[in-house]
Chain A
């Protein structure tokens, strides 16, 4: 049994300690907002926050999470930075297929929480781990800046 605090709710899950958080979220708990894209920390689709830090859940064993607070796309709107990013993403119509956008929003929210007024280099550094095959990068960049400007 592993105890996980996800978006403020504690879940007991019966999985092996080495199971990546991604599959616990998606397949065991049915929280499918967090996406599988590559499985090897190359695409960022699976990004969640552990105590506010963005991590790739495909590479995060549940046994290593301990009592750190997990926040996923389903819960990020409850954080100030997350709410701003979600609003900015709507304002700028960022999503196309949308499949990568959970991860993009999680990475962007973590960036804004750390760096309230990021410049282009900050955005590159924080977001280069998130692939968007639809090519929404122009709007992702604008979206981060727009989110930073929201009060």
Chain B
């Protein structure tokens, strides 16, 4: 077991028990005014409004409001606190926060959610303040004991020092006294020039456990007496079970039970193999319902139909560029449905009994998970305890709670705890999906430069379902992100949003979210405009970035590092090219230059990706590089392979052989260059992903003269003599 990671499921009771033996529970001033005071008389000392706990024995425990799904947030959060608290990183214990929007709601979403590249942006100041307040109280406690002025004390490595008298006390010895003090309302923060940890690469706190098999994910939960189940939902979304013949399934050794619900059938056994064999032996007849005729073509036609309707106006400034008007250039771009396919398949372990329910899983949304389990179990949320775990990948899929709903409903029929694990086929075929999105763009050029720009975004609103308060005026702020705030000076500026929900297909967020669509289309269209004016794509962009120095700087950095001006080495029997993507979404600035080689048969090899990043002040530099590297690969999988298609209402892909993701032997050389910045921190989980598709598509144009307007890459368009 990694020394930093405590056993998942440590309960709030344990925290309180820790307090009872002389710990310091510190409330934190979040910018939303949710301040609870831990004072001598305040009952808030027992209020579980806390991120920091220092026990009398000196153990420092940090409660992590954001979940760790690979993005390194446990390490970043800890660094933010430890910087101001002068705590040695090696000594902290980390616990996943229990479910509570009031205590652990993400300051950006106001609910307890990890996603949208928001964690560091949301917690940069609150977590530092938490550390600073705790430090001030420990100093005050020491100063009182020594009868000296607090200002004459320093802190270092978990100890308060009074250099003048040569005295020192470890934090643990001061915890009980500090717990009786009132936290300062607005503790001063360190000058960034004096940072000891922030901005300097630190070892991930979860790295050891992730190399020796001891890291625990939801799928590893093993409550005593647990049984194992796997399930089949209707292959057509929205369909129901009509009838089941389970005679053969029950005959499988190790099968204990078959649970038939309205919309799914589950087999419970002594282990997953028995359950899976049993599931394969079920004869299920489905009532496929109204979506049985869905196909990729019908879904696509419906989106194109929707695009003809007027949208909600997001921006309307100055001259317009109506498609079809004289001198107006127009193009449209589309993205397919995608599955998330995190390496850890969907799973949830549930122990439901009268009046109580325990849920073991890995979720990006603790309180939604708790509420979903309560609803499915017919309990109150407070009767449900969610034990959150490390996530074997999230990518947006674990912002949803359908897997928790299903598991709880199965568990209602099972005596004792049951672990419900989806097969990979179920995970890909009965999922929630990244929707198709489309972008329709037009621009009017004068002297080669845009003087009017129009962008219509067409797609569903995940926000309207997932975070209703953020859906106002009919505008999905995620769908239009990257369209309404693109980086270029384009003259008249018009952005519209057409909400179009694809029939029957449940949609959700996917790494990179709205900007996957908007950045792909804007950056493809900018290249198109550069071509119309016979300009170099780099120079064309530069000329439109006068008001955007951070964007210009990452663009220049990427171009220089990629050697934009130098000719590409030829590829044997292939056509080669470079392409650019510049984006300014998620509060970060990224430029990527892709190098591709396209074979005569249309096969594309992405040989190199060079990305320059300005994401403001950085917590853990190597963590940023790691996230960008990973995001690039995620985007590359989408560009090269990613699509979910429907036929007769069914998803046609089923596992990694036909829902392909990039493997190591397809990897380009990847270079990530951090541009130093003192601006506010930006997000880094998503932007690597959104930068790839346009850079690759533009590089393919440079190599072949074919502009791809849809993803994934259609090789038949790129084969020599292929269709155009």
Per the bound structure, the CA–CA distance linking A134 and B665 in Å amounts to 16
Given the complex of chains A and B, what is the CA–CA distance between A134 and B220 in angstroms?
19
> Contacts of A127 on B, CB cut-off 8 Å?
664-665
**What number of B residues sit within 8 Å (CB to CB) of A?**
65
A93 at the interface (CB under 8 A from B): yes
- The CA-CA distance from A98 to B344 in the complex, in Å, is 10
Q: How far is the CB of B628 from chain A (nearest CB, A)?
A: 10
Closest CB in chain A relative to B225 CB, distance in Å = 12
Chain A residue with minimal CB distance to B421?
A36
Near B by CB (< 8 A), chain A positions 21-51 give 23-24, 26-28, 30-40, 42-43, 45
B205-241: CB near A (< 8 Å → 1, else 0) gives: 0111111111111011010000010000000000000
Given contact pairs A43-B343, A141-B667, A16 touches B254 in the complex (Cβ within 8 A): yes
Residues of A within 8 A of B213 (CB): 31-34, 72-74, 102
- State whether the Cβ of A128 lies closer than 8 Å to any Cβ in chain B: yes
What CA separation (Å) do A54 and B293 show in the bound complex? 44
Q: How far is A40 from B424 in the complex, measured between Cα atoms in Å?
A: 9
Minimal Cβ-Cβ distance residue in A for B269? A27
Q: Is the CB of A132 within 8 A of B212?
A: no
Interface residues of A, dominant DSSP: loop
The yes or no answer to A77 lying at the interface (CB within 8 A) is yes
Contact flags B334-367 to A (C-beta < 8 A → 1, else 0): 0000000111110000000000000000000000
Which A residues, 77 to 104, have Cβ-Cβ distances below 8 Å to chain B?
77, 86, 89-90, 93-102
Once the chains bind, are B212 and A42 in contact (CB under 8 Å)? no
Residues of A contacting B661 with CB < 8 Å? Answer: 131, 133
Chain A hits for B655, CB < 8 A: 38-40, 42
Question: CA A42 – CA B343 in complex, angstroms?
Answer: 11
Which of B204, B424, B632 has a CB less than 8 Å from the CB of A135? B632
Report the minimal beta-carbon distance from B529 to chain A, rounded to whole angstroms: 31
Instruction: Check if A35 sits within 8 Å of B343, measured CB to CB.
Output: yes
CB pair A130 B341 closer than 8 Å: no
User: Which of A89, A130, A135, A136 has the most C-beta atoms of chain B within 10 angstroms of its own C-beta?
Assistant: A135
Tell whether, in the assembled complex, residue A135 and residue B345 are in contact, meaning their CB atoms are under 8 Å apart.
Answer: no
- Nearest B residue (CB) for A28: B271
Contact of B272 with A37 in the complex, beta carbons under 8 Å: no
> Is residue A53 within 8 Å, beta carbon to beta carbon, of the partner chain?
no
Q: List residues of chain A with CB within 8 A of the CB of B270.
A: 27-28
A61–B604 CA distance with the chains assembled, in angstroms: 38
Within B504-537, the residues touching A (CB, 8 Å) are none
CA–CA, A25 to B276, complex, Å?
A: 16
Interface size on A, residues (CB 8 A): 59
Q: Which residues B539-570 have CB closer than 8 A to chain A?
A: none
Instruction: Pick from B55-63, B388-396, B480-488 the stretch touching chain A.
Output: B388-396
- Residue of A36, A77, A137 touching B633 (CB-CB under 8 A): A137
The answer, yes or no, to whether A19 is at the interface (CB within 8 Å) is: yes
Neighbouring A residues of B723 by C-beta, 8 Å: none
Q: Which are the 3 A-B pairs with shortest beta-carbon distances?
A: A33-B213, A135-B633, A98-B210
Residues of B within 8 A of A45 (CB): 343
Say yes or no: A77 contacts B212, CB within 8 Å.
yes
CB distance from B2 to the nearest CB of A (A): 10
CB-CB under 8 A for A86 and B222, given A39-B423, A42-B655, A131-B663: no
Contact B273 A19 (CB under 8 A): yes
Q: A64 on the interface (CB 8 Å rule)?
A: no
Contact across chains for B69 and A97 when beta carbons are under 8 A apart: yes
Chain A residues numbered 120-151 whose CB sits less than 8 Å from any CB in chain B: 123-125, 127-141
The yes or no answer to B193 lying at the interface (CB within 8 A) is: no
If A72-B213, A131-B656 are given as contacts, then 15 extra A-B residue pairs at C-beta distance below 8 Å, sorted by A number, are A23-B272, A23-B273, A27-B272, A35-B392, A36-B219, A40-B656, A74-B213, A86-B211, A95-B204, A96-B626, A98-B211, A99-B393, A101-B210, A133-B342, A137-B664
Could you pull out 16 A-B pairs where Cβ atoms are within 8 angstroms? Answer: A15-B271, A26-B220, A26-B272, A27-B272, A32-B220, A39-B655, A90-B211, A94-B211, A98-B392, A99-B393, A133-B395, A133-B661, A135-B629, A135-B630, A135-B633, A137-B662
Contact A136 B345 (CB under 8 A): no
Determine if B390 and A32 form an interchain contact, defined as CB atoms under 8 angstroms apart: no
A139 & B662 in contact (Cβ 8 Å cutoff)? no
Q: How far is the CA of A40 from the CA of B276 in the complex (A)?
A: 13
Write out the residue numbers on chain B whose beta carbons fall within 8 Å of the beta carbon of A98.
70, 206, 209-211, 215, 390, 392
The reply to whether B629 and A42 contact each other, CB–CB distance below 8 Å, is: no
Asked if B253 is an interface residue, CB under 8 A from chain A, the answer is yes
Interface assignment of B13: CB less than 8 Å from any CB of chain A = no
Is the beta-carbon distance between A138 and B211 smaller than 8 angstroms?
no
Cross-chain contact A96 with B70 (CB below 8 angstroms): yes
From known contacts A16-B253, A35-B392, A37-B424, infer whether A99 and B217 are also in contact, taking CB-CB under 8 Å.
yes
* From B211, B273, B393, contact of A20 by CB (8 A): B273
Q: Cβ of B424 and Cβ of A39 under 8 Å apart?
A: yes
Report A-chain residues with C-beta under 8 Å of the C-beta of B663: 128-131, 137
Residue A4 at the chain B interface, CB threshold 8 Å: no
Say yes or no: is A55 at the interface (Cβ < 8 Å to chain B). Answer: no
Contacts of A34 in B (CB 8 A): 213
Known: A39-B424, A128-B664. A133 touches B341 (CB 8 A): yes
Which residue in B211, B627, B634, B664 is a CB contact (below 8 Å) of A130?
B664
Whether the Cβ atoms of B211 and A95 lie closer than 8 Å is yes
Interface presence of A105 (CB below 8 A)? yes
Q: Is the CB of A90 within 8 A of B207?
A: yes
Given A23-B272, A27-B272, A98-B215, A37-B629 contact (CB < 8 Å): no
Among residues of B, the one whose C-beta sits closest to the C-beta of A16 is B253
CB-defined contacts of B69 to chain A, threshold 8 Å: 97
* Per-residue contact bits, chain B 301-317, to A (CB 8 Å; 1 contact, 0 not): 00000000000000000
Given contacts A32-B220, A96-B70, whether A135 and B634 have CB atoms under 8 Å apart is yes
**A93–B211 contact, CB under 8 A?**
no
Known pairs A86-B212, A136-B630; A23 contacts B271 (CB<8 A): yes
Q: Name the A residues within 8 Å of B214 (CB-CB).
A: 33, 74
Chain B residues with Cβ below 8 Å from A93 are 203-204, 207, 622-623, 626
Q: Closest CB of chain B to A143's CB: distance in Å?
A: 10
Option from A19, A72, A134, A141 in Cβ contact (under 8 Å) with B664: A141
CB B68 to nearest CB in A, in angstroms, measures: 8
Q: How far is the CA of A89 from the CA of B667 in the complex (A)?
A: 19
A34 to B217, CA, bound (A): 12
Name the one of B211, B344, B632, B664 contacting A97, with C-beta atoms under 8 angstroms: B344
Please give, as numbers and ranges, the residues of chain B lying within 8 Å of A136 by CB-CB distance: 626, 629-630
Chain A minimum-CB-distance residue to B631: A135
Do B343 and A96 touch (CB < 8 A)? no
Chain B residue nearest to A127 in the complex (CB):
B664
Closest B residue, CB atoms, query A23? B273
In the complex, what residues of A have CB within 8 A of residue B394's CB? 97
Complex: chain A residue closest to B206, CB-CB: A98
In residues 57-83 of chain A, which contact B (Cβ within 8 Å)?
72-74, 77
**C-alpha gap A112/B482 in the complex (Å):** 45
Q: Which residues of A contact B207 (CB under 8 A)?
A: 89-90, 93, 95
Nearest-neighbour CB distance to chain B for A65, whole angstroms, equals: 15
Q: Is B657 an interface residue (CB 8 A)?
A: yes
Q: Which residues of B contact A135 (CB under 8 A)?
A: 629-634, 636-637, 662
- Residue A95 contacts which of B206, B220, B391, B631 (CB distance < 8 angstroms)? B206
* Docked-complex contact A138 and B670, CB < 8 angstroms: yes
Chain B residues with Cβ under 8 A from A36's Cβ? 219, 272, 345, 421
Cβ of B72 under 8 Å from chain A? yes
A96 and B630 contact, Cβ closer than 8 Å, known pairs A27-B228, A35-B343, A141-B667 = yes
Docked CA distance A26–B273 (Å): 11
